[in-house]
Structure 1
Amino acid sequence: MKVDTRKRLAALREKMKASGTGLVAIAPGSHMDWLLGFHPHPDERPCLLLVGLDKETFLMPVLNAEGSREETDISFFTWADADGPHAALAAALDEIGARGVDKVALDETMRADFALLLLDALPGARHAFTAETLGALRMRKDAGEFARLKMNAGIADRAMQKAFAAIRPGMTETGLAAVVKEHFASEGATPSFWIVGAGGNGAFPHHQTGGRTLEEGDAVVIDIGGRKDGFPSDITRMAVVGRPPEGYGQIHTIVEKAVQAALQAAKPGVLAREVDAAARRVIADAGYGEYFVHRTGHGMGIDGHEPPYITATSETVLEEGMVFSIEPGIYLPGRFGIRLEEIVILREDGPEILSTLPRDLHVAQV
């Protein structure tokens, strides 16, 4: 993934100044990918990108140095297994003038031993996570990020259509999942997840796809995603095998209205919890509030789940360029579940849906 590292470092430093953060420490993972376009092999050896207000450098295991040098011209302070990382870390902090910082932002995904190593080297420094700095930047997608997310959404749409075409009585949940995975692979994407929940299994939001046989009258939750060019997809649609089960149409309509309410509520300047409330209100008013058991959505970018989270308590102010899911659901134990999911990017006038696939129920002929 090609990125403009200098531009992103400059934007990060603006956020650091605004939040009073003197150092941002980033471990190998998606934060580093966003900033540099790569990350070294992650293992138990401390490896940190240290970004100060004026300079940046790496604490880098010797083992990874040669390969990483091909990806970046940022300076390294290397350490070998025989010596340990402490001296190299001290030298790296001195190099970027970060020894006396008042506040350090830690990559929330880094290993606890990496974090403790750094905090021990910065006695007295306050620590936070990246919500005010790198995390805030990642929530707003640029045109290149949007293009890759849109491309992946198209692949997922076509994988879902393949699943619809394949559904028949007698096949298993895993058999239908195999059709999805095969399609992702056919377009050069790596399958990431494949939830297929038939009948009562659909009432478990994160059902583990298994050997249950699809039967006539089953409602089937299909929640799938893949990854290509460093970005993911995520979509949920509903299908039935022949005639829908009793009461299905009413519940599907309620969930669809909840999706529409959330889409209407999602505007720049609105709190994320207000979008959750809009969807939840529709379902609660219809008498099914206790059966909507999860948040309304999650952000999506390099990671399939990342901020902003569309929850009942989120104080995140939605901004233009944020990408997140809207996916309310109703789950009736022992009967069926219904979830409809869209990924949207927030534009000036509201959300743009990445998928082009209707949310209508697909009825498989038997």
Structure 2
Amino acid sequence: MSTPPFPASVYASRLTRAAALAADAGLDAVVVGPGPDLQYLLGVEGDTIERLTALVLTPDARATIVVPRMELAKIRSTAAGELGLTIADWVDGEDPYALVLAAAGEVQRVGVSDALPALHVVPIAERLGVRVELATPVLREGRMIKDDAEIAELRRAGAAIDAVHRRVPEWLRAGRTEREVAGDIAAAIVEEGHRTVEFVIVGSGPNGADPHHEVSDRVIEEGDIVVVDIGGAVPSGYNSDSTRTYVVGDPGAEEAERIAVLVRAQQAAVDAVRPGATAAEVDAAARTVLAEAGLGEAFLHRTGHGIGVSVHEEPYIAPGNGLVLRPGMAFSIEPGIYFPGRWGARIEDIVIVTDTGAERVNLAPHALVSAARQ
């Protein structure tokens, strides 16, 4: 467990905000297990295990951490210890769900974080004697609007992953496998300032037509279009995520023309970002450019997703999402075009909504990059 990346006062403010949102939603308590929400609220990292760890938060901002005694030192090293929160520890043979009941008090509506598994949700509901509901609408509201400290970390992550993309042409050449290139990229992600590698996608030739291809032993060939989608977490736990499209050697005329359209589509979506616009309008801006060029059917996914302590979180930039954008929201803009059996391309930046528009945190070149010319 690392030291929390932000001062205790930041976490205190987040807890107060979450408690107020819970009150507004009519919840009598919120139970948050390990995962992104607990990381955001208290700097507590890690995944759920069979022994219950949970934050119990009430609308009056009473906060209790239920934790196995063997995890007590880790919890005390986080903001929970700095803030002097009530800690209810337990050992094997005792009932941790009774501690949740004692912390929550008499309740009628209780929300649980979406990372809390049924292993714990079912006994919590039984102990409280209520039907629990997802606390996602409450918890996502706080995480969607990044504060200045979070924005600084997203800028840091963006600059770090940009540095990796600028090095990709060093490794991308005919005769190497996707896996070999991915190994070089993964090492560079750490070298350039990340503490973890969250994902590396190297999709060459026909593999680039699969948006969620990772890596394979396919040997890269001269003329291949290659999608490189990479990201990791910087020491604070905030994530990078950026995609660029490369060519080994020279592209064909069709590939070059279509990727130029994709770059325009990505720019159109970035230009559409502003307070008051909807997520669907931003998605439509990219989709319209591609459709007008006859490439609408080649765009297979949403335009973007939120990012922070999770690589994917709210808001989602997708058709039909009427969510109104507000300053502080951070998300990807990543239209792509895919031609099964042939090739694919994607361009992705993380942007932050400002008072007047959008700030890109990724500044590496957007146009098709030829590895042979570096």
Q: Considering the TM-score relative to the shorter chain, is it more than 0.5?
A: yes
* Paired AA for residue 153 in structure 2: R
- 1:13-32 maps to which residues of 2 (within 5 A)? 13-32=19-38
- 1:215-294 maps to which residues of 2 (within 5 A)? 215-229=221-235, 230-294=237-301
Q: CA deviation at 1:29?
A: 1.5
- 1:141-220 maps to which residues of 2 (within 5 A)? 141-189=146-194, 190-220=196-226
Kept in 1, the 8 Å contact 2:48–2:116? The answer is no
Q: 1:11 aligns with which of 7, 10, 17?
A: 17
Aligned equivalent of 1:46 = 52
Change (3 A) 1:274 1:211: same
Per mean C-alpha deviation after superposition, the further-off stretch among 61-70 and 108-117 is 61-70
Q: Is 1:68 the equivalent of 2:72?
A: no
The secondary structure found in structure 2 opposite 1:144 is: helix
Change (3 A) 1:313 1:122: farther
Q: Is 1:90 the equivalent of 2:94?
A: no
Q: What CA deviation, in whole Å up to 9, does each residue of 1:219-277 have, x standing for no partner?
A: 11111112212111111111111120341122112211211221122111222111112
Q: Distance in 1 between matches of 2:111 and 2:285?
A: 33
Aligned equivalent of 1:355 = 362
The secondary structure found in structure 1 opposite 2:136 is: coil
Structure 2: 5+ residue runs without aligned partners?
Answer: none
Q: Distance in 2 between matches of 1:283 and 1:235?
A: 20
Q: CA deviation at 1:354?
A: 0.3
Q: 1:2 aligns with which of 2, 6, 22?
A: 6
Q: Distance in 2 between matches of 1:247 and 1:39?
A: 47
Q: Distance in 2 between matches of 1:222 and 1:20?
A: 45
Q: CA deviation at 1:125?
A: 5.0
Kept in 2, the 8 Å contact 1:40–1:64? The answer is no
Q: CA deviation at 1:151?
A: 1.0
The secondary structure found in structure 2 opposite 1:247 is: helix
Q: TM-score, normalised by structure 2?
A: 0.91
Q: Distance in 2 between matches of 1:93 and 1:358?
A: 52
* Paired AA for residue 262 in structure 1: A
Kept in 1, the 8 Å contact 2:223–2:247? The answer is yes
Aligned equivalent of 2:329 = 322
The secondary structure found in structure 2 opposite 1:63 is: helix
Q: Distance in 1 between matches of 2:53 and 2:214?
A: 35
Q: Distance in 2 between matches of 1:253 and 1:279?
A: 13
Aligned equivalent of 2:372 = 365
- The number of aligned residues is 360
Change (3 A) 1:195 1:345: same
Q: What CA deviation, in whole Å up to 9, does each residue of 1:108-166 have, x standing for no partner?
A: 111112222222233345623322x2210111111111111111111111111111232
Aligned equivalent of 2:40 = 34
Q: Distance in 1 between matches of 2:70 and 2:141?
A: 32
